[in-house]
Amino acid sequence: MTLGFNQEKSQMLFVGTPREVVFHISETIAGIDLKQFESGSAAIKSSDLKNCDLILVDQKIEDMTGVEFVETLLLRNVSAPLLFMAARGQEDAAARAIDLGASHYVIKDPVGNYFKIVDAILKKYLKFPSALDNETGDTECRDAFQTETSEPLPSIPEDEPRPELKPSQKELSILMAEDNPFNKKVAISILEMRGHSVRVVDNGKKAVNAYQKGGYDLILMDIQMPEMDGLEATRRIRSLEKGKESHIPIIAVTAFGADTDRESCLQAGMDEYLQKPYKPSELFKAIEAVIDKNGPEAKVADDAGDSGDDVFSMKTILAIAGGREQLVKELIKLFFDNIEGPLNALREGVASKNGNQIRFGAHSLKGMSLNLSAKRVAQAALELEEIGKHGLFDEADEKLKELEAEIERLRSAVLPFGGSI
């Protein structure tokens, strides 16, 4: 049976990868403009998002989870009712979606019985013709709104006000000072999950100039950068703030780990300190601490990763990427696309016994490796960084060979996850 609508054309978006949902709706309902987005980021950018009558979101999306997509909708004030769909075992995700503002959820069963619930919700929001509202049809819809345990499908009362967002939960304009393409990709991917806009500059001098033009809520500042480092850039920004009522929060983002580095960042005028590698929750916690002012001080553990394989931990990089496997593949490719620059600089520094060149090349490799959860490469790079710092050139050749060997081990370890690199 094919159902129709009073409306000339109802607009519905489906965000998710399971095609059986789209097939069912297109086969059983006439007079509907149904668009499917397998990618959450593509749906977010679509102009149809704010003009549709109903949004169906599956927990399984190509580049993020369904819950992450719902979080993004909350930030963008989308008014259309939302139906969240999850598989057996994903009840916690469905409950979280309801907390975030989903109107209803459906737990999918393998044989497709849940489609009765889908049809009932479509009838509720998309106004089937009155000719279909016969006694049998009404009974089926009422029955469909019950779960297998006969408990009502959770929903949010229409008159219940949405909770007011804290400042850190709103869309922020963020200035990021970072000169490494791989580290830029990691940070931007995490920040855009929350709908934040990010402008990137590659040295401290450009960060100061961008700050002077205004328009930013927050600065993420790397420490070691060419032309002007993050500490000096922060000092200049704080000097420019003197006599003004405004104070822009600055978070240090660095691969350094010693307490003295944290203290030097805070003494320069930074508000918080975040150590690579960091998970999305850790970055958002640091942002909350400096934007809301009443949150607990963000504390990032030195061992933000897990206790798994030191060569490469898929579990840790998945956490950094917010569970998005496609992003992990992109990060692996980006890592190897950009590793030759600092590695060649490091080789030249070892050959010419240039301590600064060794130090900066090694530091860049260390930060990239930490963000990729490649601990052994990061450790080898750290040892070379210390060699450059203290001028221990007699050990440099051997340590460089160790680093190159660790990089090859890493290359072999990521092949099952990242494809050809």
**Cα distances (angstroms) measured from residue 230 to each of 221, 261, 326:** 6, 12, 31
Residue 324 token pair:
């998005």
Query: For 405-415, what is the mean pLDDT?
Result: 89
Query: Is pLDDT of 403 > 90?
Result: yes
**Cα distances (angstroms) measured from residue 167 to each of 226, 260, 288, 357:** 33, 31, 8, 42
Residue 28 token pair:
């059983």
Cis omega before residue 277 (within 30°)?
yes
**Cα distances (angstroms) measured from residue 335 to each of 48, 113, 159, 329, 364:** 35, 45, 49, 10, 11
SS3 call for 87 = strand
Query: Is pLDDT of 164 > 70?
Result: no
Query: Is pLDDT of 141 > 70?
Result: no
Q: Does 3.40.50.2020 match the CATH number of domain 10-144?
A: no
**pLDDT for the residue numbered 112:** 62
Q: How confident is the model at residue 231 (pLDDT cuts 50, 70, 90)?
A: very high
Say whether 325-418 and 10-144 share the same fold: no
Most confident of 58-72, 256-270, 386-400: 386-400
Nearest to 68 by CA among 242, 284, 259, 222: 284
Give me the residue label for tokens 């460089």: 400
3-state helix, strand, coil in the chain (%, to 5): 50, 15, 35
Give me the residue label for tokens 């956490």: 319
Domain ranges for the chain: 10-144, 167-302, 325-418
Q: Which residues sit opposite 65 in a β-bridge?
A: 60
Q: Rounded to whole angstroms, how far apart are CA atoms 317 and 305? A: 8
For 46-72, the pLDDT digits (tens) are 888 878 888 989 888 887 888 888 877
Cβ atoms < 10 Å from Cβ of 100:
19
Q: Rounded to whole angstroms, how far apart are CA atoms 223 and 176? A: 11
**Cα distances (angstroms) measured from residue 60 to each of 15, 19, 38, 118, 249:** 9, 11, 9, 17, 36
Query: Is pLDDT of 176 > 90?
Result: yes
Query: For 293-312, what is the mean pLDDT?
Result: 46
DSSP states of 268-320? HT-SEEEESS--HHHHHHHHHHHHTSSSPPP---TT-S-SS-SS--HHHHHHH
Query: Is pLDDT of 353 > 90?
Result: yes
Q: How confident is the model at residue 88 (pLDDT cuts 50, 70, 90)?
A: confident
Q: Which residues contact 351 (CB under 8 A, 6 or more apart)?
A: none
The secondary structure of residue 163, as a DSSP letter, is: P
Query: Is pLDDT of 117 > 80?
Result: no
CATH class of 325-418: mainly alpha
Task: Spell out a b/e string for 229-251, using b for 16 or more CB atoms within 10 Å of the CB, else e.
Answer: bbbebbbbbeeeeeeeeeebbbb
Q: Rounded to whole angstroms, how far apart are CA atoms 61 and 53? A: 21
**pLDDT for the residue numbered 31:** 67
Calculate the dihedral angle through the C-alpha atoms of 37, 191, 311, 356, rounding to the nearest 10 degrees.
Answer: 140
204-208, 212-216, 250-254, 259-263: least confident range: 259-263
Cβ atoms < 10 Å from Cβ of 57:
27
Query: Is pLDDT of 364 > 80?
Result: yes
Residue 128 token pair:
């089937």
The C-alpha R_g of the chain, in whole angstroms, comes to 26
Q: How confident is the model at residue 167 (pLDDT cuts 50, 70, 90)?
A: low
CATH class of 167-302: alpha beta
**Cα distances (angstroms) measured from residue 45 to each of 42, 201, 205, 237:** 5, 24, 32, 34
Phi, psi angles (nearest 5°) of residue 198: -130, 130
